[in-house]
Every structure is written in C-alpha cells, then in structure tokens.
Amino acid sequence: MEEKKFDPYQFIGFILIALILTWMLYRNGSPQEEINNTEVTTEQVVPQNSNYETPSALSDSLAQQQKVTAYGNLGGLFAIENSSIISFETKQMIIELDPKGGQISKLTLNDYKNYEETPLPLISDGNTDFNIQLNTLDGRVLNTREMYFTPIKREGSEAVQVEMKASLNAQQYISFLYSFPKNGHLFSFTIKTVGMQAMLNTALAPELSWKTDVFRNSRSIDYENRYTEFTFGYEDDRVDYLSLSGSDEETRQDIRWISYRQHFFSAILIPEQSITEAKIKSTDRSGEESLNEKYTKTFTTNYPLNTGGEVNTSIKFYYGPTDYKELKELEGDLETSIPMGWGIFGWINRVIFLPLFEFLSSFLSYGIAIIVMTIIVRLAMSPVTYKSYVSQIKMKVLRPDIEVINNKYKDDAVKRQQETMSLYSRAGANPMSGCVPALLQLPVFYALFSFFPVAFVLRDKSFLWADDLSSYDSILDLGFSIPFYGDHISLFPILASVAIFFYTRMTTGQQPMPQQPGMPNMKIIIYLMPLMMLFFFNNYASGLSLYYFVSNLLTILLMLIIKNYIIDDTKIHAKIEENKKKPKKAGGFSARLQKAMEEAEKQKNAGKGRKK
C-alpha cells in the first residue's frame, strides 16, 4: 500500500482559500463601510438622554446594521441615527414618538385613570404596531417598523407637528408627518414617499397594517370585554361589527372608518378616502392565563394604499373617550360606533334618554339623575301599568269559574278551551290584555339596558357606596370566585333582585298559573328570575342595577296605589258578573278561533267514528 506524503501545494491552496474567505467576510460584514458608501442627509433632534443606547438597544443596533448590509443601496433606511424619543404633552394627551418605526410608542390620556388609579394608556409597552410595507422592483420587502427615522419637531400656538424621515439622501426619503392639536383627541397623520418611485414595484400596492392589543382598564374584565368591539363604518351610512367572542376575521369593502372600541375609550382610524378593501380581525384574549388579564382583545387591520407610484395619503386618528356627545361633534358618523341599540331602541336612546339624562345630570349628581330619570319613565308608563293591573284583577275574579270549567271538561281539552274562551268573551276579559302592556314596555326596557352600559358620563362617578356607577358596586371581596357570580358581592343587584321578587309575587298572585302534566311548575320558574338577575347583574354597571332597583320599587308602589285608591275590586267583580249574564256574540279573532276549534272537534269525533 502506498504511503501518503505531505503535499505542500495542497497546504498552500488551503491557506490561500482561508485568506480569501476571511477577506470577503471582513468586507461584507463591515456595516460602517456600507453606511459611508450611502448618502444620508438628516436633520436630527438633539438627544435628550445621553444613555439612549441601552444593552438591548446595542443588540438591536447590530441587527439593524446587518439589514443595512443586506439591503445594499437601500440600507440607509435602516441606519441608526443618534436621535432620542420625542416626548411632548397637549391638553388631553401625553405622546411619545419613537425614531424606530416612526410610530407612536406611548399615548396616555391626561384626564382619566384606569382601575389601578394610574394614568390611562391607550398606547404603551409595545401594545400597538403601525407599519407600511413597501415592495421594491427587485423583489425586496421594506417595512417601516424596522426603519430608523429622524424626527423634526415644530411647535406652534395651535398644534405640535413632528415630521419623521427615513432617508436615503436629500432627494429620496419616507416621511411620516404628525400634527397634534394643543386641544382635542383628533390628530392628523400623513404618509409620503419622495423620489422612490423608480425603485418601488407599482404592481404591488403598499400595505398599511395597524394592530393593537387592547388594555384592560376596568375592574371587571368580563364586563369590559362585552363592550370592547371592532366596529367599522362602510358604504354611505352603514355600521357593522366583528364578533365579541373568539376570533373573527373578514374582508370588507368601502370602509369609511375603523374603530377599536375599548368600552369607554376608542382608537379610530379615519382615512382620507374610503378604503377599497381591508382585511380586519378581532381576537378575544381575556381568557388567556399567560396574559394575566392585561388585555381584553387584539384588533388588526390590513389594507392596500391606493397609489400609482409615490405614496401620498392622509389619515386622521381619534384617541379618546367613547363619548357620544364628543364623537357626534366630529365630522362623519363616528358616534354610531357606540352600540346604543338597533332600530327603535337606538332611536329612543338618542332622541329621549340621552338628552334627558344630559339635562338632569347638568344640575344633579349622577346617582340622583338616574333616580329622577327612572321616576319620569315609570310615571310615563303608569297608564300601561294600570291597564296590566286591571287585567290581573279580572283574571283573579274569573279564577273560580275557570277552575269549574277545568274540572268539568278535564278529559276534553277542546271543549275546555271553548268554554273558557266563551267565559272570557261574556265577562269582557282578555287573558292577552296583561301581555300587551308588557310588550309596550319592552322597547323602553331594552333601550335603557343598552343605554347605561355605554353611558361614558357615568365612568368614575360615585353614588352612596358605589365608587364607580359604570362598574360593579362591591361591598365585600370574597377572596374566591363563584362560577357565573364572581369574586365579590355587589349590593345594588341584591336590592334589585329583592324588588323583582316582591313584584313577581304581586303580579303572579293575581291569576292562576296553569300546570300541565309533565311540565315544570311555572311559579318556580318565575321565582327563579330574581335569583338569575342577582347572578347576571353582580358584575354589571351599578348604575344599571340602581335603575332596575328603583324602577321595580316604583312599579310596586304604583300597583299599591292603583289597588288601594284607584281600582275597586267589588265594582269590577259586579261588572263581570253582570256581563256574564248577558249573551255576547264573539266577533273578529275570537269568532274565528272558536270556529276553528269547533271544526277541530268535529274532525276529532269523525275520526273516532271511523275507527269504530
């Protein structure tokens, strides 16, 4: 076997290859050389903090320098400038703009606090990501969130303007222009590219992306989550919502505005022109244990910017309270993002209850205003209450006769029903007359049910033991959670449930509750309602529970007044007895119903005859 010998030529070859590779790695890995070969012209804001580059920032710097090398002649967009975060304050907001991404890194509302009594942030700790994605002719994707911008701040008497520039040179740059008024929650934002048309792929439109993890701001995350919703206006005057629960994703057209409603606070995007098509998504995150109840939902919007070359588009943003009055004063129909109820229910709230409550609360405390408004509503509905109670009295008077008919025709359901209807007709009573008043009250009931949870004016307003009429009025923290009830005891729901219990006893005690074989006891079901209300309202706004407590208390009082001072049971009984003696021909619906029942009875008897 031939012995292997040392080959000097092979050794020299390896050495040369190693030297060439080392030289190539050194040349390609030198970010400073690439930066120096790229013309960058910027006007920097003087750094406010000499220790701006923290260890994490240095690590990020290395990553960005690698992007500079990777993007070649576009690397200047990713070159780190020695600029600090821009901070300033308006009457309503504290704002910070980050040079990285050129986006708002912090937006805190001055006039409000969250459930932890700390300043209320709408943007903070990286919960919001705003990005413009650009596509180049050579197939590269540029994201503004990864670029470094140079800020230029200009402060005037009416507004603060900040221009953020990511530049290749003096003639080629991407610009974000913010204009924040000194007073107000609405600000403008302009996106513009200059001198970049030749390198951008016009076949692929730039895409705007806006994502927000919605902070929890109230004590009850479940209650707040019910009213935290992705809302958008589309076409001329239509409004729609994504699902409140789980994950919901859609593609919608002709969008006029997009609202990330956070119950009592909103972030609203208003484009200069309607969005042709957008992908929108809502994800419920309130139940994620890893988040420790920090966020309620995540909202995401993606849509292309309509442009034929250079980007030049303007957007308005609203970051502020979900207050119907304030949103109504802004251009457009942004107030429709508040769920005041659909159809007639929303109309009642907008036309009646909102102006009434605004008037009452202008000179009364908010708790007293709720009580006074409840009194006005109950007095307005008193004729309906009277009608309902008269119907209950009539049914009570007829109860003995109904029992006689039931016993006499217990084996003949059709005949029993015929005789019962005949009795009602002759006595001048209608079992449905008690239901009609209840149906008439339903629009008012539902309208107020929609009104109180979204009434921004109730937020942080106290009354008696309730610290916040927009949240639950806990009088005892249990230290553990009861399923469907919660980890605390609220007093107003207990009072409301007690009032509902006595009201139910008064109303159901006036008439018999029919018991069908095999069916559950109706009285038990009715008496379960107060218990269900107790569980349902324990985590709801105490203002709503206060309304139901006062409303049921007033209804009981009205029924007692009607019973003792307005209605004479003896006269009603005598009138019914007199009517029963007079033969009365059924007409209209009663006549048709009785005829249908007689036909059914004939067919039943004919069927029995054929079987024999």
553/490 same-domain check: yes
DSSP label at residue 100: B
| Most confident among 141-150, 162-171, 253-262 (mean pLDDT) | 253-262
Q: 157 is written with which tokens?
A: 């008497």
CA 229 vs CA 23, 299, 434: distances in Å? 57, 9, 38
603 lies in a domain? Answer: no
Identify the pLDDT of residue 58: 39
Q: How far apart are CA 316 and CA 189, in angstroms?
A: 6
262 & 353 share domain: no
Among residues 299, 325, 340, the one where a domain terminates is: 340
CB of 318 closer than 8 Å to CB of 330? yes
Last residue of a domain, one of 340, 359, 386: 340
The three-state secondary structure class of 124 is coil
Partners of 172 in the beta sheet? 169
Asked whether residue 599 is assigned to any structural domain, the reply reads: no
Q: Does residue 465 sit in the same domain as residue 566?
A: yes
pLDDT per residue over 176-221, tens digit each? Answer: 999 999 999 999 999 998 888 888 887 888 999 999 999 988 888 8
Residue 328's domain is classified under what CATH number? 2.70.98.90
- Is 309 in contact with 197 (CB distance < 8 Å)? yes
Assess whether 400 and 270 both reside in one domain: no
- Is 15 inside a domain boundary? no
pLDDT at 507: 67
pLDDT value of residue 29: 42
Is 305 in the same domain as 410?
Answer: no
| Same-domain check for residues 426 and 510 | yes
Last residue within a domain, chosen from 340, 371, 398 = 340
The answer as to whether 209 is a domain residue is yes
Q: What is the pLDDT of residue 442?
A: 78
**Does residue 301 register a pLDDT over 50?**
yes
Terminal CA-to-CA distance of the chain, rounded, Å? 116
Check whether residue 108 and residue 199 sit in a common domain. Answer: yes
Q: Are residues 366 and 318 in the same domain?
A: no
Q: Give the chain's mean pLDDT.
A: 77
- Global confidence as pTM: 0.75
pLDDT at 610: 56
Q: What percent of the chain has pLDDT over 90?
A: 23
Q: In the 3-class helix/strand/coil scheme, how is 461-488 assigned residue by residue? A: CCECCECCCCCCCEEEEEEEEECCCEEE
Question: How much is the average pLDDT of 102-131?
Answer: 90
Q: Do residues 283 and 297 touch, judged by C-beta distance below 8 A?
A: yes
229 part of a folded domain: yes
* Whether 251 and 359 share a structural domain: no
pLDDT attached to residue 83: 66
Q: What is the pLDDT of residues 218-240, one digit of tens each?
A: 888 888 888 899 999 998 888 99
303 and 393, same structural domain?
no
Residue 32 lies in a domain: no
Q: For residue 5, is it within any domain?
A: no
- How many domains would you assign to the chain? 2
Pair 109, 91 in one domain = yes
Residues 285 and 384 in one domain: no
Q: What is the pLDDT of residue 561?
A: 83
Task: Round to whole Å and give the CA distance between 153 and 210.
Answer: 24
528: containing domain:
345-581
In a domain, 595, yes or no: no
Pairing mode of beta strands 128-135, 207-215:
antiparallel
Q: What are phi and psi of 83, to 5 degrees?
A: -120, 145
CA separation for the pair 40, 75 (Å, rounded): 10
